[in-house]
Amino acid sequence: MYDEFVDRFVSQVKGLKYGDPNQADTVIGPIINKKQLAAHMAHIEGARTAGARQVVGADPQGQVLPPHVFVDVNNEMRIAQYEMFGPIAPIIKVHSEAEALQIANGTPYGLSSAVFTRDEQRGVRFALGVQAGMTHVNDHSVNDTPSGPFGGEKNSGIGRFGGEWIMHEFTRNHWVTIQHGRQDYPF
């Protein structure tokens, strides 16, 4: 399944338009600043140096970083261990569901994740084992709604925001009572 997935993923990524975010059909716009772009370039170079094979990618055009896809990635590589928040996709081959879960959880981060499967119940069982603040079954990992509990685990942050969830993060329950008269205690 790995080779077919990679072929289809690469084909899809190659069709993504990048560039001017004012164009309605642009999918990937510019990186927020030069420091962030430099960090992405360091991740890309680090992946190449570590032995990952780049199958999609091109040089930046100003602040616009075209999408990059790497295969032959293992979970010890930096590219697999960091939240990059940029158009860089490492693909790791696994041989079992247990190995996939181990790799998913084998990172110091855990903001958001996604599981794709034809068997929704199996997807939910897998999702419940993922150490992330959010896991979406058959949906993309960037799913943020005003009322959802958005937030991560591990080094991806503590707590949730969105809707009533934020009230729980910024408040605490504290029960205070006052006794206005003398009480007769049984001891």
Whether 165 has a pLDDT exceeding 90, the answer reads no
Instruction: Give the closest residue to 75 by CA, choosing from 48, 50, 38, 40.
Output: 50
Q: What is the mean pLDDT of the chain?
A: 91
Looking at residues 151-158, what average pLDDT do you find? 80
Which residues, at least 6 apart from 51, have a Cβ–Cβ distance to it below 8 Å? 72, 77
Whether 67 has a pLDDT exceeding 90, the answer reads yes
Alpha-carbon distance of 142 to 7, in angstroms, equals 23
User: Which range, of 57-61, 78-82, 111-115, 154-158, averages the lowest pLDDT?
Assistant: 154-158
CB-CB contact of 50 with 41 (8 Å): no
Whether 173 has a pLDDT exceeding 80, the answer reads no
Looking at residues 148-176, what average pLDDT do you find? 78
> 1-93: what CATH class?
alpha beta
Q: With the CA atoms of 103, 162, 31 and 46 taken in that order, what torsion angle do they form, in degrees rounded to the nearest 10?
A: -20
Instruction: Give the closest residue to 146 by CA, choosing from 125, 165, 121.
Output: 165
Residue 175: predicted pLDDT: 79
For the chain, which residues make up each domain, given as ranges? 1-93, 106-172
Instruction: Give the closest residue to 105 by CA, choosing from 87, 121, 118, 92.
Output: 92
pTM of the model: 0.83
Do strands 53-56 and 68-73 pair parallel, antiparallel, or not at all (unpaired)?
A: antiparallel
- Model confidence at 86, in pLDDT bands (50, 70, 90)? very high
Residue 41: predicted pLDDT: 98
CB-CB contact of 90 with 70 (8 Å): yes
Tokens 């959880």 label which residue?
105
CA 60 to chain centre: 23
Alpha-carbon distance of 137 to 94, in angstroms, equals 19
Tokens 């928040």 label which residue?
85
